[in-house]
Structure formats: C-alpha cells, structure tokens
Amino acid sequence: MESSRRIEQDYRARVARAVAAIVADPMAEHRLEDLARLAHFSPFHFHRVYASVAGETVAATVRRVRLALATRLLEAGDQSITQVALAVGYESPQAFTRAFGQFTGQSPRAFQQKMVRAILDVDALPQPDDGVAAPAVRIVEHPTRRLHALRHQGPFSTIPHTHRRLRQHAGTARITDRWGASFDEPEGSIGFRYYAAVDSPDAWPEVPEVEMLDIPGGCYAAHRLAGPYSQINAAVRALYIRWLPASGYEPDDRPTLEHYLNSPRQVSQAELRTDLLIPIRHTGTP
C-alpha cells in the first residue's frame, strides 16, 4: 500500500513537470515525446499516464493554458481580438471565438467589454439571473472553518488543475463545499498563496501534500459572481477599487475566499455561480 502511494506521488510529480513546462511557455510546440522525456516516461505510454493523472489530455491542457493567456490579453485591452487570436495560436478569429466560447461561455468581445465595465463600475459586475434580487455587495458573517486543502503551485491560470488533484486525493470521501483561499494578490507572484480547499465530513486517505487549513471566522463583503471563473480576478479588483473605499470598511488580515456554489462539471460556464468573499472590518478597528 505504502509502495503504491509512493509510486502514485512520483507519477504526479513527474507529470507536474510537464504541466509546468506547458504553463511556462504556452506557445511552444509541446510535442508528446519532449514532454515525456521531461517527465521521464516512455513516449509510448506518456499520453495515457498524463491523462490519468492530469484528468485531461496534453492537447487539452495546452488549449486551456493558451485560452487562459487569451483572457489576460483581452483583459489588458490593448490588442484586438484578431491579434489575441493569432497570439495564442489560432489561425482565424472565428476558430478562436468558438474555442473561447467553449472555455468561458461567452464571446471574446463580450468578455473584453465585461472586463472593462467591471473595472469601471462595480454595479456592472455580473449579477445572479436566478430571479432573486440581491445587492451587488452584502455583508455576511462566516464561522471559522477547517478545510482539507492543497496548496496551488504555479500561475493563476492552472488553479483548476489543483482543484482536480484535490478531488482525486479525496478518494471516496464526501465533499460538501468547494472553496478557494487566496493570500495576497494573484497578479503579484511574490508571496502569493492560493489553496484549493473543501469541506468534508469524512476521513481522508493520508496524503502528505493535503493539509488542514484553518480559516478564521468573521465579517466578509460578499458578491455573487455569475459566469466563468476567468472573471474572478477582475471582479475582486473592482470590489476593492470601487466598493471598498466608500464602504466604511477596510480589508482585514484574513484570506480572500471563493465559495464555488456549483461546478463546470455540472453546468455551463455561463451558469457558474461563485461567492467572492473579501474579509473586512470597520474602518479604524484595530
């Protein structure tokens, strides 16, 4: 049993080297034989090992990382959609638009316009369309939580891969809620820490890289984001820039939380719902 666990961990570490190479240079060719050599696997079996560990094919990882790069280029707003399409390896804007729509649930133009509105006006942030009227921001109290967590290694765009690994580590244990916990600003690589985390009432297999993460309770500014996870960064920034200064609150020394209310395995990108939770305290409170 212990031997098989060590082998599994070794496989994961070796596949992680291949993923890191893709993330480090999304536009490289990333031939299977080169990635297999990097991960010290036989090229003949590498695609099967990679898919079983990563939960997707190499081609799917490359496509996802390139589209994540496209979201950052579109968010920057200084390139046309055609320029972004060519920059991330698509031969035509039409092919890029189709792939981008599958990835985010919306067209590149709609995504770019929404990012601009989110930065300029917090009231323009995506609102839930489930028929229940709700303010853009509500103040909530959350209890202390103790979560099973896996620290993310790598750029922000590969966080979904960390969540998939955490689900795999759970084995047969039930997962009741999925969370993300961010320490520091994701745009700044120095000091940034992010944990994929879950509530689970069951005992878990012993996995060294899975740890128990204690999240202090307290007051949060909550906004429910409707739409793909690629909008999270811009939405959080807009809350800090446009809502927080005039709110009478200031950030507290606790992690920013993301509470994933559903999953892309269950619903379309456009139907995703995520509660964004900024830890706050009244201005002047020690």
The predicted-structure confidence for 174-197, as pLDDT tens digits, reads as follows: 999 999 998 865 544 445 689 999
CB 77 within 8 A of CB 39: no
Q: How far apart are the C-alpha atoms of 105 and 8, rounded to whole Å?
A: 34
Q: Hey, how many other C-beta atoms are within 10 angstroms of the C-beta on 205?
A: 12
Q: Measured between alpha carbons, how far is residue 7 from residues 11, 33, 50, 185, 223 in Å?
A: 6, 22, 14, 35, 42
Check residue 46 and give its pLDDT: 80
Q: Which residue has the higher pLDDT, 129 or 228?
A: 228
pLDDT of residue 144: 95
pLDDT top residue among 8 and 249: 249
pLDDT at 117: 55
pLDDT for the residue numbered 135? 37
Phi and psi angles of residue 140, each rounded to the nearest 5 degrees, phi first:
-135, 155
β-pair partners for 213: 147
- Domains parsed from the chain with CATH numbers: 2-108 (1.10.10.60), 138-282 (3.20.80.10)
Q: What number is the average pLDDT over the span 89-104?
A: 87
Helix, strand, coil in percent for the chain, rounding step 5: 45, 20, 35
Q: Taking the CB of residue 264, how many other CB atoms lie within 10 A of it? A: 14
Q: What pLDDT, on a 0 to 100 scale, did the predictor assign at position 208? A: 87
What is the pLDDT of the chain when averaged over all its residues?
A: 82
Q: Which residues, listed in sequence order, are joined to residue 33 by a DSSP beta bridge?
A: none
Model pLDDT, residue 286: 59
